[in-house]
Amino acid sequence: MSDEENATNSPEQPNAKLKQSLSGKIAYLDALENAVDQQNDRLIYELLDPERYHTDISSTNDQIKSGYFNLVDDVRSQISHYLSYQLIDYLAKLYPFFYYREISEGEFKILFGNWWDRREFGYLDVLNLEFQYDKDEYQKLSDTFGLDANNKHLNTEKIAQISEENKQLQELMTNQDQRDQRKAQLRDQLQDTSNNGSFWESGKVKEERQALKDELTKLTEEDQKAVDAKEKMRSNEDRILALSKEDTILSYEKQSIKQAFGSFEAFTNHSKKLYSDYLTSLIGKEQVRADE
Amino acid sequence: MSDESLNPSSLTTNGRLVAYSQSVKAGLQHGIEFTKLFDQLTNTTDPNELLAASTSLFDFQMDTEYVVYPHKYDANDYYLIFMSRLLELHDDKEAVLHSREDNLKADTLFQTFPNIDDTEEFHFEQRPNQDGAFYVEQNSHQVIFSLNLKEKTMYFNSDTITKLFITEWSGKSDNAAVSDAVDLFIEFGKYLVSDFGFNVDFNMLDAANDKKYVLAKADLSDQIMDKLFVVTADNQLMLQNMDEVQGAFLDLGNQIIFSLYKQNGADGSAHWVMTVQDPKEQYSLFDIFNQFAFLKKWFLDNLDDLQIGSKMV
């Protein structure tokens, strides 16, 4: 008989191992329950991900073992919901321009600002203490800061371009009379050249006639554009409004970030450090409480 | 007068002569009753007597079959006299009542506001199949408000307030003068409420904080709000999102808050409303349009969508 078989056959050892596993789990759940009872959010975060906690916050407490979090997998959203209260209070002071909407239990959308039609800016991952910014929206804001030095907005050039197009369309519409006159003139000239032309038209006359025809075609094309101009101008105005609105929103966002952080870089750097910043602040609070 | 009992054809000659005399007397007595009411209208210092005289005169048929008075005021004129006298009783003197000689009847009466524009003349008009009278600007026939002394109602007309005050008058004189004239109409409405308990719809002129200016159109496109958003930013203000309802509000400074939002009725209907709130309830929608040029421009540019509904039909 091998040692292994011996071990399997002995009733005590596997029992002890099992009991150890179970008591580890019970201890974990007890600790989590106590932390919730005492509203010790710092400890909850430590229990949720001990490895990250030890790495980022470098606590000396190594009693807490990792690998238990899947025990509470089915109540993740409840834990997230619970933790959001203190976290959002904390965030309100540091990121006063962010608002959160709980779209389902424990799941939070970030809204940027309190202005009209503020943008959705991604999600707040409460359990992992991470801002998950929407890539497109984040990029637009980043670009806006990039243009700040030139005193430009994201859509300044597009708006100028569309405005110019509308100006030309307006001209096209106002020049209708001129075009009509010119067309009448051209038709008269064409008539003249055909009346006066001999059977053997000279190349020069042919060229002249072609030039007249070309101009007439060009004017007729412009007429058609003028007919469509009104519709086009209206849709251009809609586009300008949409772009101006986006610029306005982005400039409010930019101002908010400048006010709170000074620069986009500082904002980004802070956002990345949410885990350590928040837990450090919780530790600070605990110490204040302990000292009192 | 009972015409049936005095049917002349059934009487003797003498009886007919007596009947004639009685009919003339009755016609003259009717005229005397008229002058009593007329004197009451022009002389009384008691608002209730003023209202009673005006209401009676408005429906008063002066002529009878036997006595016809050639010089008469229009029924509408009694409303105008009523308005002038009520203002006078409250020491309001901005409006001036004028009379113009008229050979066909008594004088023609009209009102002007010398501080704004002497060429604009105002009087009351009647409309077919509608009770009461309508206070109008004579050239344009724009109705400023409807008045019904019998039903005790006064309804301002938002359409005219927009056209006449916000657009036409604002070019002619300074905002303060226009406000004075408008204030006078508001004061008149307030006297109607305080003296007689009238039901007055001040419409855009109502400065009460709980006044909801209901938009005539049920739907409002997002673009209207977007335009306001962009233009407020250009004016160093910020249109803010309302959390509880679909809508937005604007802090105009001095604690004046303008809001535009969708209000859902209990019956499932919904309409858009504007509100103006300030601590002393001094500002109406009309006032903030006059004070903030960008808001006025936005309102007028999008009038088709933003016109305020009116109780006046």
ipTM of the complex: 0.78
Secondary structure element (H or E) that encloses residue B76, with its range: helix B75-89
Q: Within chain B, which residues score under 70 in pLDDT?
A: 1-9, 102-106, 116-117, 164-179, 313
Q: B96-100 and B270-277 as β-strands: parallel, antiparallel, unpaired?
A: unpaired
Q: B121 and B200 share a domain?
A: yes
The answer to whether A117 contacts B225, with C-beta atoms less than 8 Å apart, is: yes
Say which of B225, B229, B241 has its CB closest to residue A248.
B229
Find chain B residues with C-beta within 8 A of A242's C-beta.
226
DSSP B63: -
| Side-chain-facing half-sphere of A64: CA atoms under 13 Å | 22
Q: Which residue of A has its CA nearest to B249?
A: A116
Report the alpha-carbon distance of residue A69 to residue A48 in Å, rounded. 6
Q: Please indicate, yes or no, if residue B148 is contained in any of the structural domains.
A: yes
Q: Which helix (H) or strand (E) holds A264?
A: helix A264-272
Interchain CB contact of A192 with B (< 8 Å): no
Supply the range of the domain harboring residue B258: 213-306
Pairwise CB contact (< 8 Å): A252 & B223: no
Let me know the angle formed at the C-alpha of A187 by A184 and A193, rounded to the nearest 5 degrees: 145
Residue B124 belongs to a domain: yes
B194 and B222 part of one domain: no
DSSP H or E segment with residue A37: helix A12-37
Domain final position from B69, B93, B110: B69
pLDDT band with cut points at 50, 70 and 90 for residue A6: very low
Query: Do the Cβ atoms of A114 and B241 come within 8 Å?
Result: yes
Q: Say yes or no for a CB contact (<8 Å) between A116 and B240.
A: yes
Look at residues B170, B205, B240 and tell me which one is the last residue of a structural domain: B205
Contact A41, A83 (CB under 8 A): yes
Q: Which residue has tokens 């019956």? A: B267
- Give B254's contacts (C-beta < 8 A, 6+ positions apart): B278
- Which residues in chain B are contacts of A252 at CB distance < 8 A? 233, 238
- Contact call for A116 and B248, based on CB within 8 A: yes
Cβ-contact A143, A152 below 8 angstroms: no
In a domain, B275, yes or no: yes
Q: Which residues between 195 and 234 in chain B have a beta carbon less than 8 angstroms from any beta carbon of chain A?
A: 222-223, 225-230, 233
pLDDT of residue A60: 61
Residues B95 and B184 in one domain: yes
Q: Are residues B297 and B218 in the same domain?
A: yes
Please provide residue A2's backbone torsions phi and psi, each rounded to the nearest 5 degrees: -85, 165
Cβ count within 10 A of residue B42: 11
Q: Is residue B26 part of a domain?
A: yes
pLDDT computed for residue B43 by the predictor: 94
Nearest to B149 by CA among B82, B95, B70: B82
A115 and B241 in contact by Cβ < 8 A?
A: yes
Distance between CA atoms of residues B92 and B105, nearest Å: 29
Task: Choose between A199 and B114: higher pLDDT.
Answer: B114
**Domain-embedded: residue B23:** yes
* CATH number assigned to the domain comprising residue B283: 3.30.310
Q: How many angstroms separate the CA atoms of B228 and B250, rounded? A: 10
Q: Which helix (H) or strand (E) holds A125?
A: strand A119-125
Q: Are residues B190 and B168 in the same domain?
A: yes
Q: Same structural domain for residues B171 and B285?
A: no
The residue ranking higher by pLDDT, B71 or A200, is B71
What pLDDT shows up at residue B105? Answer: 64
- A225: contact with B, CB 8 A cutoff: no
Q: What is the pLDDT of residue B1?
A: 46
Say whether pTM exceeds 0.90. Answer: no
**Taking a C-beta distance cutoff of 8 angstroms, is the pair A76, A127 a contact?**
yes
Residues in contact with A249: Cβ distance below 8 Å, sequence separation at least 6, in sequence order: A113, A115, A117, A118, A119
From start to end of chain B, where are the E strands?
96-100, 108-113, 117-125, 133-137, 142-148, 153-156, 199-201, 213-214, 239-241, 247-251, 257-264, 270-277
Chain A contact probe: residue of B230, B234, B244, B259 with most A CBs at under 10 A: B230
Q: B226, B242, B246, B258: which to substitute to probe chain A, counting the most A Cβ within 10 Å? A: B226
Distance from CA of B249 to the nearest CA of A (A): 8
- pLDDT greater than 80 at residue A240: yes
pLDDT value at A102 more than 60:
yes
Q: Which residues of B touch A113 (CB under 8 A)?
A: 241
Q: How far apart are CA B234 and CA B293, in angstroms?
A: 12
Instruction: Answer yes or no: is pLDDT of A1 > 50.
Output: no
Q: Do B233 and A252 touch (CB under 8 A)?
A: yes
Q: Match 């249109």 to its residue by tokens.
A: B239
Closest CB to B230 among A114, A118, A245: A245
Inter-chain residue contact A251 with B233, CB threshold 8 Å: yes
Would you tell me the crossing angle of helices B75-89 and B175-196 to the nearest 10 degrees? 100
Q: Given an 8 Å threshold on Cβ–Cβ distance, is A117 in contact with B223? A: no
Which is nearest to B299 in space by CA: B286, B283, B284?
B286
The Cβ-side half-sphere exposure at B105, using a 13 Å CA radius, reads 11
Confidence label for A62 from pLDDT (cuts 50, 70 and 90): low
User: What is the distance between the alpha carbons of residues B290 and B304, in angstroms, rounded to a whole number?
Assistant: 19
CB contact under 8 A, A116 and B222: no
Kindly state whether residue B74 falls inside one of the protein's structural domains. Answer: no
Q: Say if residue B62 is in the same domain as residue B116.
A: no
**Same domain as B201, residue B173:** yes
Residues from chain A that touch B237, judged by Cβ atoms under 8 A, are none
User: Is residue A116 over pLDDT 60?
Assistant: yes
Written as six digits, the tokens of A160 are: 């100028």
What's the order of all strands across the beta sheet hosting B247-251?
Answer: B213-214, B270-277, B257-264, B247-251, B239-241
Looking at the structure, do residues B60 and B169 belong to the same domain, yes or no? no
Distance CA A190, CA A183 (A): 10
CB contact under 8 A, B229 and A115: yes
Average pLDDT over residues A248-272: 95
CA separation for the pair B214, B209 (Å, rounded) = 14
- How many C-beta atoms lie closer than 10 Å to residue A36's C-beta? 16
Q: Tell whether B311 is covered by a domain.
A: no
Beta bridge partners of B147: B133, B154
Question: What residue type is A115 in one-letter code?
Answer: W
B176 and B263 inside one domain: no
What average pLDDT does this structure show over A264-276?
95
- At which of B205, B221, B250 does a domain end? B205
Integer CA distances (angstroms), B223 to A99, A114, A245, B60, B219, in order: 24, 18, 10, 54, 12
Q: Residue B6's pLDDT is what?
A: 55
pLDDT in tens, A7-49: 455 556 778 888 888 888 898 999 999 999 999 999 999 999 8
Domain count within chain B = 3
In contact, A230 and A91? CB cutoff 8 Å: no
Residue B3 maps to a domain = no
A244–chain B Cβ distance below 8 A for any pair: yes
Do B128 and B40 sit in the same domain of this protein?
no
Q: What would the pLDDT profile of A69-95 be if each residue is shown by its tens digit?
A: 888 889 999 999 999 999 999 999 999
Find chain B residues with C-beta within 8 A of A115's C-beta. 229, 238-241
